[in-house]
């Protein structure tokens, strides 16, 4: 491994993950029959190390013990059958799942009656996910359409230890004492993190088959403005959600997968905000099923924060320069092209009035945006900056930010999605 190559670490991480995954999924035969079908990604979330979130409470560090966890996701494409990918990527011990169930989500923690199905793994109710590995469930006959919400319930009859998770879901996850995977009602699931931004636990992907043919997946790769901070909790109005709706309305259905992580950096790992973009790009983007295009929106956190103090870590990173950011973007582009994936570069939105703003940080943002627009390095450009600040004021207009001058509001996220040229995603 070349220590000077920023993507050498990516390859080693991906190889390790793949090797460990074989242990969890190879022997029993449901995967073999599944491969004969045409599966499409319908939803994904980037997995993170369990940590204390500085902004809101989570259950990641404590994990679960004799509890049921019900998590809800919205699919960007549908089908006749569905399967779920569970990750123990950051676990240090095997994860023992007693059982699971899935169905169409109703209001809150409720499941639409008649749709609840037991989930199995190699024809068994329970499964052990090795430390560092993942498992794929058996297919479940559950008809869904694009935009449908599904509820997955996991039951653990013993302590899990700290949980691999996705920190910012902007979707409520529910918890109940005891085994309630077969409940369609919400009564037992009275426990949810309040105030709720929400997190997803262990669930890294949902795939479907048997539906309308769709194009290759679009992956939105970025920070909190991709992850959706400032969107409506349980409202599914982040920019990738809106983009999926546009593609469907234009009769160009394609899965749109969200690979954003709030506070994530391009150049440096974080104790509470995920591995760097360079380290996680292959796993979170290119290893998704049938990816055709990636939209890269990254660099704001590198520009605004010199270290990892937001996570309580007394660390200063090396100075961030325009050249370092350009080199990182070029590395992502090269890696995408090597896998036959089109790379769309998104300009960074303004942050005038937000903490850490200065003339220097704003100049670095503007210079990086000019490179994204004019260098020709990316196959296409999504100009989020001009979409949300057409006058070039250097600030997100009132009504388009979530009150912090940094993160879009639902109206801002709609403006981002509307600015993407659908032809550029082909």
* Cα–Cα separations (whole angstroms), residue 100 to 118, 228, 256, 285, 388: 6, 28, 26, 27, 42
Q: Which residue ranges make up each domain of the chain?
A: 8-206, 215-425
User: Measured in whole angstroms, how far is the alpha carbon of residue 40 from the centre of its chain?
Assistant: 16
**Model confidence pLDDT, tens digit, residues 273-309:** 999 999 999 999 999 999 999 999 999 999 999 999 9
* Cα–Cα separations (whole angstroms), residue 365 to 9, 124, 361, 393: 27, 52, 6, 13
Residues above pLDDT 70, as percent of the chain: 91
**Domain 215-425 architecture:** 3-Layer(aba) Sandwich (3.40)
Of 253, 256, 251, 275, the C-alpha closest to 344 is: 256
- What are 119's strand-pairing partners? 100
Residue 195 has pLDDT above 70, yes or no: no
* Cα–Cα separations (whole angstroms), residue 206 to 86, 96, 128, 144, 150: 9, 20, 19, 12, 10
Tell me the mean pLDDT in the region 359-364: 97
Tell me the mean pLDDT in the region 268-272: 96
Whether the predicted model's global pTM rises above the 0.75 cut: yes
**Model confidence pLDDT, tens digit, residues 159-172:** 999 999 999 999 99
Cβ neighbour number for residue 171 with a 10 Å cutoff: 23
**CA 373, CA 375: separation in Å to the nearest integer?**
6
- What are 43's strand-pairing partners? 206
Cβ-based neighbours of 395, under 8 Å, separated by 6 or more? 350, 351, 352, 353, 389, 405
């Amino acid at each position: 491994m070349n220590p000077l190559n920023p993507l050498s670490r990516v390859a080693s991480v991906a190889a390790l993950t793949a090797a460990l995954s074989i242990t969890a999924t190879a022997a029993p035969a449901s995967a073999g029959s599944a491969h004969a079908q045409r599966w499409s990604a319908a939803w994904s979330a980037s997995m993170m190390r369990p940590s204390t979130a500085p902004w809101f409470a989570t259950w990641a560090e404590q994990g679960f013990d004799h509890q049921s966890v019900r998590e809800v996701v919205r699919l960007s494409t549908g089908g006749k059958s569905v399967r779920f990918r569970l990750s123990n990527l950051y676990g240090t011990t095997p994860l023992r799942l007693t059982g699971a169930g899935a169905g169409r989500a109703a209001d809150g923690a409720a499941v639409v009656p008649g749709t609840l199905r037991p989930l199995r793994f190699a024809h068994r109710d329970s499964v052990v996910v090795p430390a560092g590995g993942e498992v794929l469930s058996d297919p479940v006959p559950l008809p869904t359409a694009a935009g449908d919400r599904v509820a997955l319930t996991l039951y653990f009859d013993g302590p899990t230890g700290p949980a691999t998770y996705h920190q910012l879901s902007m979707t409520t996850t529910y918890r109940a004492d005891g085994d309630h995977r077969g409940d369609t009602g919400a009564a037992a699931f009275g426990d949810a993190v309040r105030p709720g931004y929400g997190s997803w636990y262990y669930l890294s992907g949902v795939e479907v088959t048997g539906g309308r043919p769709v194009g290759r997946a679009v992956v939105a790769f970025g920070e909190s403005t991709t992850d959706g901070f400032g969107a409506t909790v349980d409202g599914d109005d982040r920019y990738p959600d809106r983009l999926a709706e546009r593609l469907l309305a234009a009769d160009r259905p394609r899965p749109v997968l969200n690979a954003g992580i709030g506070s994530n950096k391009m150049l440096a790992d974080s104790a509470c905000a995920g591995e760097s973009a360079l380290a996680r790009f292959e796993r979170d983007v290119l290893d998704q099923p049938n990816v055709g295009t990636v939209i890269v929106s990254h660099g704001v956190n590198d520009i605004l924060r010199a270290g990892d103090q937001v996570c309580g870590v007394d660390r200063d990173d090396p100075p961030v320069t325009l050249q370092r950011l350009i080199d990182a973007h070029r590395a992502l582009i090269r890696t995408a092209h090597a896998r036959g994936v089109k790379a769309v570069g998104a300009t960074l939105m303004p942050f005038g009035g937000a903490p850490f703003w200065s003339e220097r940080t704003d100049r670095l943002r503007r210079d990086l945006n000019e490179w994204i627009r004019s260098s020709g390095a990316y196959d296409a450009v999504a100009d989020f900056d001009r979409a949300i600040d057409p006058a070039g004021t250097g600030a997100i207009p009132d009504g388009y930010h979530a009150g912090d001058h940094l993160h879009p509001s639902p109206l801002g996220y709609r403006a981002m999605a509307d600015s993407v040229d659908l032809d550029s995603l082909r």
